[in-house]
């Protein structure tokens, strides 16, 4: 089963929940960090990295001797990764989405494959827990291809906890679109409610099952909880604001190590989700 942990905004405690679920799993499980722009699950899990490989995209390069400058590749590319003016043709690998359409439409076969590094995929172990994360190359704009590479490491025979990127844009959709269940982590503030509503809209559009965990639930007001009840959205857990939890997070200590009583709560939540 794939359980994604997402949020409409950053800073809600998404990684805290994802790491706690992964550590609470009684069976062998996987922790997959798809927040490739800034992965931080490794800070808490401290895995032993056993393998690392570079992830590349296939991008076009042009053979000027074969090119007739017809512009068909330019016209095909909706991302403006190729331009032709006069007897000059230029490609912009940073704009390319690697759809490979330009290779197909070129009548002169003047477009050939080149590679562009987008990031690194690392795998490791933390006890019985398998660990996978991606690290996007600094300056790289497209996270989705690396997220897809990370998700290919999911083992369908295990409980997979997927730490999603924050927000509601393309990286989040790429992460949660095939999850069996998504936990949306929010907070009891007006900003938390606004971004939760955006995230719920995405999940409903994708027709995926989801529920909510309210972090720092005793701060702010009750509007987030009331809205969830009015929308018939299950609230699986409420975590109070606690300076000890915040200090532990800053030191890279998982929640269930700071308060062992949460181990049983997360184990029960996992059992409930797996039974769905």
Reported as a single tens digit per residue, the pLDDT across 257-267 is 999 999 999 99
In order of 77, 105, 149, 166, 187, the CA distances from 242 in angstroms are 52, 60, 37, 23, 14
Q: Is the pLDDT of residue 125 over 90?
A: yes
Produce one character per residue of 8-29: b if its CB has 16 or more CB atoms within 10 Å, e if not: bbeebbbbbbbbbbbbbbeeeb
Among 47, 75, 109, residue at a domain's last position = 109
- Looking at the fold, whether 211 and 142 belong to one and the same domain comes out as yes
Work out the average pLDDT over 167-186.
Answer: 96
- Looking at the fold, whether 90 and 191 belong to one and the same domain comes out as no
Encoded tokens for 96:
């390319």
Work out the average pLDDT over 53-59.
Answer: 96
- Looking at the fold, whether 35 and 172 belong to one and the same domain comes out as yes
- Can you give the pLDDT at residue 16? 94
Write the DSSP symbol of residue 111: E
For residue 141, what pLDDT band results from cuts at 50, 70 and 90? confident
Q: Is the pLDDT of residue 94 over 80?
A: yes
Residues linked to residue 56 through DSSP beta bridges, in sequence order: 117
Q: Is the pLDDT of residue 270 over 90?
A: yes
Among 75, 92, 109, residue at a domain's last position = 109
- Looking at the fold, whether 150 and 224 belong to one and the same domain comes out as yes
The domain of 83 spans 64-109
CATH assignment at residue 240: 3.40.50.300
- Looking at the fold, whether 236 and 168 belong to one and the same domain comes out as yes
The side-by-side arrangement of strands in the sheet containing 111-126 is: 48-62, 111-126, 129-136, 29-33, 159-163, 2-6, 181-187, 210-215, 235-239
The owner of tokens 């897809």 is: 148
**126 neighbors 74 (Cβ within 8 angstroms):** no
* Beta strand extents in the chain (DSSP E only): 2-6, 29-33, 48-62, 82-85, 88-91, 111-126, 129-136, 159-163, 181-187, 210-215, 235-239
Residue 252 CA to residue 5 CA, distance in Å, equals 19
Give pLDDT tens digits for 230-250: 999 999 999 999 999 999 999
Mean pLDDT for the chain overall:
94
Q: Is the pLDDT of residue 103 over 90?
A: yes
Q: Which residue has the higher pLDDT, 42 or 219?
A: 42
- Looking at the fold, whether 96 and 166 belong to one and the same domain comes out as no
- Looking at the fold, whether 139 and 23 belong to one and the same domain comes out as yes
Give pLDDT tens digits for 206-239: 999 999 999 999 888 899 999 999 999 999 999 9
- Can you give the pLDDT at residue 14? 94
CATH assignment at residue 102: 3.30.70.20
Residue 133 CA to residue 136 CA, distance in Å, equals 10
Q: How many domains does the chain have?
A: 2
Residue 234 CA to residue 243 CA, distance in Å, equals 27
Helix axes 190-206, 223-230, angle to 10 degrees: 20
For residue 252, what pLDDT band results from cuts at 50, 70 and 90? very high
Among 109, 130, 145, residue at a domain's last position = 109
Q: Answer yes or no: pTM beyond 0.85.
A: yes
Q: Which of 14-28, 54-68, 96-110 has the lowest average pLDDT?
A: 14-28
- Looking at the fold, whether 137 and 197 belong to one and the same domain comes out as yes
- Looking at the fold, whether 21 and 98 belong to one and the same domain comes out as no
- Looking at the fold, whether 74 and 202 belong to one and the same domain comes out as no
Q: Is the pLDDT of residue 28 over 90?
A: no
Encoded tokens for 220:
């702010």
- Looking at the fold, whether 42 and 176 belong to one and the same domain comes out as yes
- Looking at the fold, whether 161 and 252 belong to one and the same domain comes out as yes
């Amino acid at each position: 089963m794939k359980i994604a942990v997402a949020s409409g905004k950053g800073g809600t405690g998404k990684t805290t929940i994802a790491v706690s679920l992964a550590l609470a799993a009684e069976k062998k499980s996987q922790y997959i960090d798809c927040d490739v722009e800034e992965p931080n699950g490794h800070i808490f899990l401290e895995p032993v990295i056993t393998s690392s490989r570079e992830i590349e995209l296939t991008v076009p390069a042009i053979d000027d001797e074969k090119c007739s400058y017809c512009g068909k590749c330019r016209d095909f590319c909706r991302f403006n990764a190729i331009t032709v003016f006069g007897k000059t043709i230029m490609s912009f690998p940073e704009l390319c989405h690697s759809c490979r359409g330009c290779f197909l439409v070129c009548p002169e076969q003047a477009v050939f494959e080149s590679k562009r590094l987008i990031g690194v995929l690392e795998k490791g172990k933390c006890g019985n827990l398998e660990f996978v994360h991606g690290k996007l190359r600094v300056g790289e704009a497209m996270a989705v291809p690396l997220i897809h590479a990370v998700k290919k490491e999911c083992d369908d025979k295990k409980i997979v906890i997927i730490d999603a990127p924050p927000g509601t844009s393309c990286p989040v959709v790429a992460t949660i679109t095939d999850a069996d269940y998504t936990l949306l982590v929010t907070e009891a503030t007006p900003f938390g409610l606004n971004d939760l509503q955006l995230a719920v809209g995405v999940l409903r559009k994708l027709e995926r099952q989801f529920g909510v965990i309210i972090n720092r639930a005793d701060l702010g007001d009750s509007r987030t909880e009331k809205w969830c009840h009015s929308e018939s959205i299950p609230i699986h857990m409420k975590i109070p604001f606690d300076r000890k939890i915040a200090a532990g997070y800053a030191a890279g200590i998982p929640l269930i190590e700071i308060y062992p009583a949460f181990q049983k709560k997360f184990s029960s939540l996992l059992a409930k989700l797996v039974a769905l």
